[in-house]
Amino acid sequence: MLKNLVHWRAGKFLLNRVSRAGATRCLCTPFKNQTNESAALGDAEPAIRKHVNPFAQTTSTPLPDNEVNESKEERDKRLKVLQLEADIAHQEGRRVPALDFFKEHHWAHVLTLPSKSARIKYYAFLWQIEMKKESEQRKKALRAEGTERRIAEMRKEREENTHIIYGLAHTSMFLRIYDSTINHWQNNRLTRAMQFAPKIVLDCSYDAHMTNREASYAAKQLMLCFAENRAHDEPFDLHYCNANFKGRCMQSLERFIPTMHNPEFPMNVHSECFTKLFPKQQLVYLTPHCREDLVTYNPDDIYIVGAMVDTVNNEPLSLAKAKRLGLRMARLPLDHYLQWGSGSGKSLTLNQMITIMLDIKKTGDWNAALQHVPRRKIIDLGTEQAQGRQALNRRANKLNVRIDHLLKYENNRPESTAFATPQKVRQHKDGLDFNLDSWATGKKKTSRNKCEGGA
């Protein structure tokens, strides 16, 4: 079965490869190398100043400040000085862990950092890890004695038991379902999805525009995309395109999913661009920076989501890419269906995007699909109104003021007025007055028994 799968996948790509007549520029190289656009404008410009992000990781172009061919002795010398720096900072009591906490990969990372303040922040991060570890060990030592006692008791009980031991790991009526069983079942569903379901593309070409940390976050979100897609009732055929396997994002993704490259694992990762894999007229780029809303989901279209975490860099890169490739663009109709609060802003993570698309495919209902947007970001008008009314009622009860004649006409503004007095100026609350004769007799209070208070 595996062999067939491999052949089938190879065949599918051959089918999907669209032969284009005429000259087609490969428009999928990273943005930094696009100098053709300015030439098209006809302006003779001096060498365009590259906007270099010192934290971006690039494989082809090295950072202008760091010489890549630094000799080994220089690197060793620099490492020694940095170790001395960390040691002295630790001796001064700053937030730097002790020298024996550092490992090889820590020093490798420290050597790539561009400035002293970056190093200080990294050392503070490692210091926090060290402190947490020490605190864990202290707590463990405290708990160790209690744990030992408990284990000894349990062992004694089990030895003394001559009859069957009933329990989850021993004799029980529950069948144990292993994680791997579920995984196999879900993978099987995914292979069917790869054959029959609509496709969605995750465009991983934004490595150069993300910092290291953002790339790690992106990798985690990509992993969650895969997981949520797999666990859904009707999965998509998910494709990761433009993947740069040496880059930070893909390296982290490989640590999350080590079997990613195995041929039998149902994950499609390509280093080519989606324009090579799928026909252009089917592609729709989902970007928050354009003006057209996605009104109805079209299962024949292949939607593209840009796999970028844009906390630091908020340029409209996906918009620029879609415009350059000449693709259709759309954005989710968030403004139409949701009321955004002043919370963390309108950005959605990748896995939230995928679950929204999954739900809109399944139900066709945007309100149901947009349930996946975190509630803290939006203002839910219904609950807010209810909360407001409750607070008002509580306050009015405290002050013994009647407001229900105002609230009754809340939606009907012309009829309600603060000057209209209710029928009774002051009234004892119904059911709260005490009558000794009828107390605890079980008789219901009727309007005749109620004493209506005057003054």
Partner 1 sequence: MYNLRVLRLLRHSLITKSTAGTAMTQSPPYRLLASQHKRRPQLGAVPSDQLEQLKADYFERSSELSNDEWDRVRSTLTDSYKYINDSNVDAVVLGMCSSAEKLPLAKSYLSYLQAQGIKPNAATLGRMLRVYNAAYHTRTLSDEEQAEIVHICDTLQGAHEILDASSCEHLIHGLVATEQHWQRAVPLLEMMKVTSAPSVTAYSTLAAKAFAAEQPELAWRLLEEMLQARKLPKCEVYLAHLAQSAQQVQTLGAQLERLLCFLERHDIVISDLVAQQLLALAQRLPQQLQATTTRLDRMGKCGACQQHLQHVAISDAQFAELRESFLAKVLIRNDVFQKSTPQEVARFKQYVEQTAPYDCVIDGLNVAYSTGNKKPPQQLAKLLATVVRYFKERRKRVLVLGRQHMRNWSRPAMQYIQNNASVFLTNNLTHDDPFLLYATLHSGQDTDFFSRDLMRSHAFLLGSELKAIFRRWQQEHQYSLVTQTQTGQIIVKEPIRYRLSAHKVGNVWHVPCCEVYTVNPSESFEVPEKWLCLSIAPNVV
Q: How far is the CB of 403 from partner 1 (least distance, A)?
A: 29
**By CB under 8 A, is residue 51 in contact with partner 1?**
yes
Site string (20-39) toward partner 1, x via CB under 8 A: -----------xx-x--xx-
Kindly tell me which residue out of 102, 123, 127, 366 binds partner 1, with binding defined by CB under 8 A. Answer: 127
**By CB under 8 A, is residue 346 in contact with partner 1?**
no
Q: How far is the CB of 379 from partner 1 (least distance, A)?
A: 15
Size of the site for partner 1 (CB under 8 A): 47
Residue number, 115 or 181, with CB nearest to partner 1: 115
**By CB under 8 A, is residue 167 in contact with partner 1?**
no
Site string (199-228) toward partner 1, x via CB under 8 A: ------------------------------
Residue 340, SS3? strand
**By CB under 8 A, is residue 40 in contact with partner 1?**
yes
Q: How far is the CB of 344 from partner 1 (least distance, A)?
A: 19
Residue number, 13 or 107, with CB nearest to partner 1: 107
Residue number, 60 or 363, with CB nearest to partner 1: 60
- Choose the stretch contacting partner 1; rule: CB under 8 A; options: 73-81, 190-198, 269-277, 333-341: 73-81
- Choose the stretch contacting partner 1; rule: CB under 8 A; options: 76-84, 342-350, 386-394, 396-404: 76-84
Kindly tell me which residue out of 29, 59, 66, 128 binds partner 1, with binding defined by CB under 8 A. Answer: 128
Residue number, 85 or 272, with CB nearest to partner 1: 85
Kindly tell me which residue out of 220, 251, 316, 416 binds partner 1, with binding defined by CB under 8 A. Answer: 316
Q: How far is the CB of 200 from partner 1 (least distance, A)?
A: 24
Q: How far is the CB of 167 from partner 1 (least distance, A)?
A: 42
The whole-angstrom separation of Cα 187 and Cα 233 is: 12
What is the footprint of partner 1 within residues 95-114 (CB under 8 A)? 95, 98
**Which residues bind to partner 1, rule: CB under 8 A?**
31-32, 34, 37-38, 40-41, 43, 45-46, 48-51, 77-78, 80-82, 84-85, 87-95, 98, 115-116, 127-128, 131, 289-291, 315-317, 319-321, 323-324
